[in-house]
Structure 1
Amino acid sequence: MSAPAIEAVDLVKRFGDFTAVDGVSFTVPEGSVFSMLGPNGAGKTTTVRMMTTLSRPTSGTARVAGFDVVADADAVRHRMGLTAQSATVDELLTGRENLRLVGDLYGLPKALVRRQADELLERFSLGESADKVVKDYSGGMRRRLDLAASLVATPPVLFLDEPTTGLDPRSRVELWGVLRDLVRDGTTLFLTTQYLDEADQLADRIVVVDHGRVIADGTPLELKDQSGRASLVIAVSRPDEVERAAELVRDEVPDLHVDRDSRRLTAPAEGVGALTRIAARLEEAGIELDDIGLQRPSLDDVFLSLTGHRAEEPTTGPEGSRSTSEVPA
C-alpha cells in the first residue's frame, strides 16, 4: 500500500494558555476527500495552518505527500495547494495576471504557465472576465479565482479551508462539481467546513472536531449510524386512511408514531425486509401512499448528539467567527 497523502499524529497547537488543537491524529489516502467538520473556533483552521507549514506545531508530527511539515517545509509547499478562508488574489491585477504570477513564483516555464492559466480560467467559468481587474469581480468569482490559483502548479494535495463559506447555493454546487473533477483526476483533498451538507456530499471520510479535539471519525454513513437507527417513514395520501394504514403497519413495527396532521407514520427501521413487507401489505389493502422509505439520521443529528450544539454555533478561540452571509457568483 502507498503511504498516506496526508498524516497527522498527536498534533497540538497552543497559544499561551489556550490549546487550539489538542492531540489530533488522522490519515488521508491518496485520491480521496477528507473533511474536518466543526464549528468556528473548533481548531480546523489552526490544523490547516500547521499542515501547510504556516504555523509550527507545539508538539506532534504531520506529513504531506510523505514530507514532514517542519523538517521538510519547502518540499511540502511544492507539493500542495491552499485555498484559505479569505481570497488571496491581488485585486489590482486581472484574473489572468494573477494566475500567471502564481506560476512565475513557482518557477514554472512561461509557456506552461500561460497554458495552465488559460485552461483554469475556462474551467472555473472565468474566461470572459480573464482580463478584468479582480477588484471588479463578484465574491463568487474571486473565490473561484482563488481556487484556480492554488491549482496552477497542479499539486497532488489540496487544502481547502471552508472554500464555499459566503457563496450562494448555486455557486456552492458548481464548486462541488469542480472538486469532484479534481478528485477523479487523482488530487487528494483536505476540506474543512462547518456545512454538514458539504461534508456529506463530498467526503470519503470525516473527522468531527470540537474544542480542538477529534470527537468522532468515520465515513458519513458510519457517523450517521452512531447517532441512532434509521427511521421508517410513510406518507399516506388520504387523511381518512391514516388510521387503517397505522393498524397494518403496527403488525410489523409496534413502536409506531402517528402524525395525523401531516399523514405521516414513523417507526424505528427494522431493515429493508420489513419495509418491503409493509409496502406490499399497504398496496394489497388499497392504501395510497405519497412516499415510503428509510430515513437515516443527518450529520446535523450526529453533531448535535456528540456535542450538544449545532455545527454552525461558534465556540471561542483564536480562529474567531466570520459572517456566513451569501455572496453572489
Structure 2
Amino acid sequence: MKNAFLTVEATEALITSGATLFISGPESLLRRLPRGKWTGATTVYFILEDGGASREDRLFCTHFDEAAAVRTAILSGDELAGLVERRYEHGITCVVVPAFSATLQRYAAEGPRLSGLYNQPVFGWVAGVHLDRVGIDSAKVFDGVTGTISEDGLAALWIALPDTIEADLNIVNLFTAGEGSEFSFADGGFEIADCLIDGTPANLACHIVEQGLDTRLPLVADYAGAMINVSFQTVDADNGKVHFYAPVVPGVTYRQASPVADYASTYAEAANGRSAEGMLSCNCILNYLYAGLEGRSTGGFVGPVTFGEFAYILLNQTLSCLSLQEAPTGGDHAHRS
C-alpha cells in the first residue's frame, strides 16, 4: 500500500500498468483518466506530508499493491446490501459517496444495520467540491472499470487480500463530550426541530442561538464504546430547525464537545510515528477549516480532506485511517477497528 500525490500523466501510467488505485482529486483530472482498476471521487483539499493544501493540479493516489483480486461498482440507495454481499472472503471495502446525495442519506440511516457490515473493514469518504463552488458544482464518484460517473451513488472498490495481509482500520476523534447540557431526540435524522435538553422539551435551534453555542464543536455521544460526532451544518432559528452532516440517533444522549487546544500536534501524537507511506487517512473538511490545517502537518496522516468519513458508518469531524500489515502467524486473519 503506497500513497503518492501525482500528475494526471503519472496516474494514467499507473492505471495502464494494471495497478489497483483509490484516487481523489478534482473532477477535471478524474475525467481524463483511462479505464482500469480504480475507484475515485472529487475533492480539491488534501493533507500532505508537508501540510494541508488546496490543489487542482494533482491526484492523490493510493496503490494497493497487495490486492489479489478487485471488484468495482456504483451502488444505488436500493442496492446497499450489495456492499456486504459482493465483498471477498478476506479483504477490505473502500467506498466513496457524493456529498448531499440521497444515497449518502440512505447509507447514513441504513448502513449501520447492514447484516455483517462490521465483519470486514469498510473505509472511505464523502466526495466534495471546492467550498467556493458548493451549490454550483456537484460532488461525483467514479468507477474506473466501467467508466461510470455518478452524482448519487455509492462507489465501491472491493479488494481481496492475501492471507498473509491484514487490515487495520482506526478512527482518531479529537473531541470528547463537554460538561454542558444533555441532548436527546425522539426522532432521528439530519434535520431536527424539537428535542429534550436536560430532560426538558425545547427547540434546539432556539437554544443554540439563545445560549450562543459554538457550532464548530459537534455533538458527541458514546455509540457502543466509540465516541462519535454529529456536526452542525446550519442553524435556522427563524424556522426552528437545525441541519446536521450526519443523523442523530433516537434514544442516544449527546453533549456538545469540549474545545481542542491544538489539532495539529494532537494528530501528530496520535500518529505515533507511523509513516505516511503505508497509511491512508481521510480528514473532515470541518477540521481542516476550524483548526486551520492549511500548511500544517498532521504527523503520518495523509490523504484527502472530505465532506465526511467512513469507518463502517458515516462519521463527522473525525479522521479515519486504514493501513495494511503482515498478519501474525497462526493461520487466522483478523482486522482491527
TM-score, structure 1 length as denominator? 0.29
- Answer 1 or 2: which has greater helix percent: 1
TM-score, structure 2 length as denominator? 0.28
- Answer 1 or 2: which has greater strand percent: 2
- Structure with greater Cα Rg: 1
